[in-house]
Chain A
């Protein structure tokens, strides 16, 4: 016993004791479901049991037009959120960091508040603001410009305005804070020497700020890619359930949920999940190569 205690306390054994929960959790709650997900995507699962069906689910997916709607929607959503939620927060962070802006603390606190609300609450607020009733906020705004009220959430164009505004509302402040922390890590003496060399504000942004906050940008892009591709609850709440008119709000995860939970077709749903993972991995590898992350590590 004494010996065992001593061994347990040695610096060789202790680290393994500390990381043991991680290893267990990794095996039980990550590796096992991941592998079982891959296996299940080749199986037909019903109450009777499992039968191996090979790549039948994938073949069916390729012809499934709902699935392609879901993929198109998810990819479109991801691209649009990248376009909206990278440059704008970056500009805002630069503006916030400049000497011109006063009361920085107040702005920062307010801009983060939307991120505190749950999707249920924010989804409800936006659904009601974009309601088709004449008295809703957005229809009142249309009335102000002399337009008649429209059913915002029933056509893709206007519905996606609501969806993207909801996304921007929740994440602009968060992404701005990420960029702010990136800006804080830049040594200010660089800007002083640029001033001496007579660089103007635009040049300083393009040639100093942008390259220096690259790690932050890569981080924000990566999390945005994942969040965009796996978006589900926003659309679930905006349309009050998993069915939107003409599937304008159907996403990959929404389809996975519909198949797996609502229709209890687990094998097919797992195949949907695998496609999502492959898309996410491909996009991330492309992005990491494009931004030269691998190259930097080789040095």
Chain B
């Protein structure tokens, strides 16, 4: 009897040690992960030239910190800053507009495609779904150059349409909507048909409200992808006035390091929109991301 109590005591303490170990492991990992961003955030309160001369390091010396970079970013410091600030917020606005347009259009188009692929039985159904998967198997970088030529020939180079249209029917978005809709009862459709609703009316009035969670998941993933997208917009946009934030920030990266005040503050400020969306909707994000992974 006494022995039993003893062993359960060691087990309990073992359990406690393991708990400390597991949580300690994640604590250290999360500190390491936060590290570069924290270093960047701290650096954004110091002169940019320090970044070029000394590199980036965690530095808790608060005495030399100033808001100068951010004042410069918002055009509050010097004549030059007003020009730079105007440029930065033009890129910021471009990115916001492009992201919103991309998200709205992609989601709507992909929703209807997935609806057609899932809610009906028709001859080409299987083949079309196979093609959706096939498009995922060709890396975008291979299509990049011919697509660039095509977009130039179509006269949509240097326009938002040139950036948005080629990626509009995103295979992974269609795939996710399909996965989601497959779990929904099709009897609803028949009931609506009997009530005299048209096929298109059903897709908008009946199914769309039910698929709201799927829209939320895909909206975040799509917004992240679009806000951070760089390679394709870099090829399509030629005028500085049309650049997105990411391309614009990249142009600030010169070997001379004379723009680093703007660059470091601008980079930190550029994470904010996506961070806010993420913190509000992170539950949906995880659902959306992992949809493809479970069923394989």
Give me the interface of A with B, judged by CB distance under 8 Å. Answer: 9-12, 14-19, 21-23, 25-26, 28-30, 32-34, 36-37, 40, 92, 95-96, 98, 100-103, 106-122, 124-126, 128-137, 139-140, 169, 172-174, 177-178, 180-182, 184-185, 215-216, 218-220, 226, 229-230, 232-233, 237, 240, 253, 256, 260-261, 266, 269-270, 273-274, 276-277, 280-281, 284, 293
Contact = CB atoms under 8 A, between A and B. Distances in A.
Interface stretch (B2-10, B64-72, B81-89, B196-204): B196-204
B146 A36 contact: yes
Nearest to B40: A125
B142 to A, nearest CB: 4
Given A33-B146, A277-B139, A232 B231 contact: yes
Interface-central residue, B21, B30, B246, by most chain A CB under 10 Å? B30
B145 interface: yes
A17 B275 CA distance: 37
A220 B169 CA distance: 22
A273 B141 contact: yes
Given A14-B116, A37-B142, A216-B294, A100 B55 contact: no
Given A101-B23, A109-B279, A118-B246, A169 B33 contact: yes
Contact of A181 (B125, B274, B293): B293
Interface string B132-154: 10010111111111111110000
Contact of B131 (A26, A173, A230, A284): A26
A177 B286 contact: yes
A127 B138 CA distance: 30
B278 interface: yes
A19 B128 contact: yes
12 contacts: A16-B116, A21-B169, A23-B128, A36-B150, A101-B19, A110-B34, A117-B228, A133-B55, A229-B139, A232-B141, A253-B141, A273-B145
A119 B12 CA distance: 46
A30 B40 contact: no
B132 A281 contact: no
B30 A111 contact: yes
A261 to B, nearest CB: 7
A100 B18 contact: yes
Contact of A101 (B26, B51, B263): B26
Given A114-B36, A137-B57, A276-B141, 8 more contacts: A21-B168, A26-B131, A113-B37, A113-B278, A116-B271, A135-B53, A180-B290, A216-B294
